[in-house]
Structure 1
Amino acid sequence: MRKDSTLFPLTTLQRQGIFYALIFIGSGASLPYMPLWFADKGMTGAQIGFILALPLLLRAVTGPIMGVWAEKFPLFRTPVIYLAALGGIFYGLLGAWPLFQDGRFVVFALVWCLGYSCITSISPLLDVMTIQMSKREGFNYTWPRAIGSASFIAANIAVGYGLNWLGVDLIQVWVVCLCFAAMLAAAYVLPKAVRHVDGPVTEAAAVPAGSGWTKIRALIGNPVFVLLLIAMGCIQAAHGFYYGFSTIIWKGQGLDGATCGYLWATGVAAEVVFLALGFRIRNRFGSWALLVAAGALSTLRWVVMGFAPPLWVLWPLQTLHAASFAACYLAGLDLVNRMAPKGSESLAQTLNAAYVTGVMMGLSTLSSGPIYDVLGGGGYFVMGGLAACGFAIAIWLYRKQVMTA
């Protein structure tokens, strides 16, 4: 595996792992706990749901724009540096909340939207970079992502304990600092990888030369590609209620911050194990089968969560995150990359992120606020129904793509 000697004698795998770690430390510090921060600043459940959902919904627009913009740079890491820097600046503005007593909700929604849009646009770019570098250098591209997930666990637990001692304002400070750390890492740790070093094996028709928008139209003209995004969107969007309100629900049931952190960490630990074994599992069963399994186990997870199970049941339920998230993620990453014509990999993964973890997750998160206000923890039943829709579409695709092949 090639070593880049421009700064540190690290392999590409190690460099990718370091950057994934920084990005996911930031996620671990913010994703479970930012709703608590917003609630501490006086936001209602519906307002929190809107704030969290807004940037996800807008990814229908910002995702393709970011993808087309990023492809203009010859190096993968250049747009990553810009996005990390801008994300840190916007998140930093959240710290000025005392200046906006009257219009706090509007300011939170705007600033969070800008910061979140920048940071979440990094992930699909990094995924494509890692896949293409792994093809050239022969390493397992799931390992850097597994390193990131392990880092998520560490941040999750650390911030859970920190909440007990230092209060919720610790969260915003963590996120800002880590955004800028990611920017520096992108500049000095990520290898100087040029785009499209290798073309994947494709399952889509070749896209004629043209603008990024021409390539986008060709991709969304593939009905299997579109149905794949819908199936993954339903399965992944079923996490919206969990991401937004699980910590609040658990604390309402009497669990302390550290226990909530351990519960989140348990789910991500299962994800790490799955990603570490992901190549073998995918090669054994195939990506379409993984998607079907993700839909089935996701449905089971959220339906059982709707019954407000005791703590001893929550632990094994959290391990199902390996299926509801990781299996769906890994299957989608592979299937989308295989369907993307050469030269459109970044755009395909950007569309995947924009509509699966963007629009679909945004709609789920937006509805989760009012659902929580009305149903409380019973909102998990709604998420179970959403996952079941993804499961049904995944079964149809499996039969069409595998059983009739």
Structure 2
Amino acid sequence: MSSARIPYVPLGAFYFFYFAVIGGFMPYWGLYLQSLGFGAAEIGQLMAIVMATRIFAPNFWGYIADRTGKRLLLVRFGALMITLGWLGVFLAREFWPLALVLLAYGFFQNAILAQFESVTMAHLGEQRDRYSQVRLWGSLGFIVVGTGLGVAFDHISLSVLPLAMLACALATWLSSLAVPDIATATRRDASHGFREILRRPAVWTFFAAHFLLLLSHAPYYTFYSIHLESHGYSRTEIGWLWGLGVGAEVLMFLVMHKVLPRTGEQRMLLWSLLLSALRWVMIGFGADLPAVIWLAQLLHAASFATFHAAAMVVIFRHFGDGHQGQGQAVYSMLWGVGVALGSWVAGAVWSVATAPWIFSVAALLCLLAWVLLHQAGTKASAPASRA
């Protein structure tokens, strides 16, 4: 497929608005819940509910998508349901009603991305190394909303957060309508069974490392803003810190199509894990040193961007077209398991005093993931090298 036929603008627009929703949710949802009077344990539980939907929703949708090949139709339906479901946030203020709303929101929000990744890869065709140039628009959407709301919330109430996210959700659905449909293989086309692929050492080792990395991210996703605010950072500074991290991600995505073919997926994954461990230690123990916190956010380029870009290539090469939806779904499911479990545990023990040690445990999880991938060695990279 030539680059002229790739619908960069519609694909990029969807990523922009999809991650704009997350740009409002991840930095400020914990603060919003705090403003409603919820404690750390309840915040951790509510965040865990959203993350936990990644355990079952992506696999359910992935199964349907691989059976029907109607990935884009499922994405459009899910984006519409996110918009409609988000209306419930305006009514829910108590724990259980809010938990039900977040369960519905997470079920669709966390399911459609895996299928849209497959749609994007299908449009890119043989130019899959240019995936990062499309995906970076999602990072830009996160930055625009994340930093913009940070500045706004130093002057206006956090109560407007649901309205901002509703607007972004509506734009996500509208942008999905502009993406051209494309034929994708169904499960019946696959020459190898899904379970057979999962049993490959290179595959299950990769997924285990991915799970540990996301488990380590849970304190960051759930309590980073609360952690900074407890150390005197303003909401404008918090917004810019989130934006800086995603900005570093954008810059990395811009060059990944050149760097990844030279470096290889295995080496890229290993470096990502080491730098992620360093990042968590800096955040945990450097909160009173602004220079350390700002520098740590630059490492988001490693803890997310480089790992994710390499992971997309690994998944595509191992799962091919016929099982692509399910492969993406497992990747997304493990994201949910890791962050949900980590959010629940972190919420149960979180305090200003325990924060450094919680981030230290996160660093150790990254090192464990590094050991798993390193021991796999050439076995993990051999399938990719033959592709």
Give the letter aligned to residue 184 of structure 2.
Answer: R
Residue number among 101, 109, 112 corresponding to 1:119 in the alignment? 109
| 3-state SS of paired residue (1:140) | helix
The letter for the 1-side match of 2:273 is G
Q: What's the CA shift for 1:134?
A: 0.6
What is the match of residue 329 of structure 2? 350
1:242-288 CA-partner distances (Å, limit 9, x unpaired): 11111111111111111001111111111011111111111111001
Q: Which residue of 2 aligns with 1:335?
A: 314
- 1:233 aligned onto 2:211: yes
Aligned-pair CA distance for 1:60: 2.6
Offset, 1:3 = 6.9
**Residue type of the alignment partner of 1:322:** A
1:22-44 Cα distance to aligned partner (Å, 9 max, x none): 11111111111111111111211
CA shift at 1:137, angstroms?
6.9
- Confirm or deny that 1:71 pairs with 2:66: yes
Distance 2:64 2:380 in 1: 33
State yes or no: 1:130 paired with 2:128. no
**For the Cα contact (< 8 Å) 1:289–1:398, is it kept in 2?**
no
Q: Secondary structure at the match of 2:153?
A: helix
- What corresponds to 2:100 in structure 1? 110
Taking the aligned partners of 1:53 and 1:28, their CA distance within structure 2 comes to: 17
Write out aligned runs for 1:56-95 (5 A): 56-95=51-90
**1:32 match:** 27
For 1:167-206, what aligned pairs fall within 5 Å after superposition? 167-187=157-177, 189-196=178-185, 206=191
Shift of 1:110: 1.8
Match of 1:245 among 188, 199, 223: 223
CA offsets, 1:192-220, max 9 Å, x none?
222239xxxxxxx9325xxxxxx3x3343
SS in 2 for 1:126: helix
Alpha-carbon displacement from aligned partner over 1:44-97 (angstroms, at most 9, x marks no partner): 111111111123234332221111123354443211111111112222201102
Residue pairs, 1:197-276, within 5 angstroms: 206-207=191-192, 215=194, 217-276=195-254
Q: Which runs of 5+ in 1 are unaligned?
A: 5-10, 99-103, 198-204, 209-214
CA displacement at 1:336 relative to structure 2:
1.2
In 2 relative to 1, CA 2–146 (structure 1 residues): closer, same or farther, beyond 3 Å?
closer
Q: What is the CA–CA distance in structure 2 between the aligned matches of 1:2 and 1:206, rounded to whole Å?
A: 29
Structure 2 counterpart of 1:207, one-letter code:
H
- Following superposition, the deviation at residue 403 of structure 1 comes to 8.5
Which has a greater percent of helix? 2
Q: Distance in 2 between matches of 1:86 and 1:329?
A: 26
Is 1:149 the counterpart of 2:128? The answer is: no
- What is the TM-score when the length of structure 1 is the normalising length? 0.88
**Alpha-carbon spacing, 1:378–1:336, altered in 2? closer, same or farther (3 Å):** same
1:375, distance to aligned residue in structure 2 (A): 1.0
**1:139–1:387 Cα change, 3 Å:** closer
The normalised TM-score by structure 2 is: 0.92
Map 1:269-348 → 2, pairs under 5 A: 269-309=247-287, 310-348=289-327
Question: Residues 287 and 82 of structure 1: is their aligned pair in 2 closer, same or farther, counting only changes over 3 Å?
Answer: same
The AA in structure 1 aligned to 2:83 is: G
- Counterpart CA distance in 2 for 1:137 and 1:296 is 29
- Counterpart CA distance in 1 for 2:377 and 2:311 is 13
Contact kept, 8 Å, 2:373 with 2:380, in 1: the verdict is no
Instruction: Provide the rounded CA distance (Å) in 2 between the counterparts of 1:81 and 1:58.
Output: 18
Give the aligned CA root-mean-square deviation in angstroms: 2.3
SS of the aligned residue for 2:27 comes to coil
The match for 2:44 is 49
- How many Å separate the matches in 2 of 1:138 and 1:56? 28
Which whole-Å CA distance do the structure 2 matches of 1:136 and 1:299 have between them?
34
Instruction: Confirm or deny: 8 A CA contact 1:13 1:139 kept in the other structure.
Output: no
> Runs of 5+ in structure 2 lacking a partner?
none
User: Kindly, what percent of the aligned residue pairs are identical?
Assistant: 22
Within 2, Cα distance between the matches of 1:275 and 1:2? 17
Equivalence map 1:8-23=2 (5 Å): 12-23=7-18
> CA separation in 2, counterparts of 1:156 and 1:65?
30
Query: 1:249 touches 1:377 (CA, 8 Å); kept in 2?
Result: no
Determine the C-alpha separation between the residues in 1 that align with 2:129 and 2:277.
Answer: 33
CA distance in 2, matches of 1:275, 1:183: 24
Instruction: Give the length in aligned residue pairs.
Output: 379
Going from structure 1 to structure 2, the CA distance change for 1:321 and 1:401 (only over 3 Å counts) comes to: same
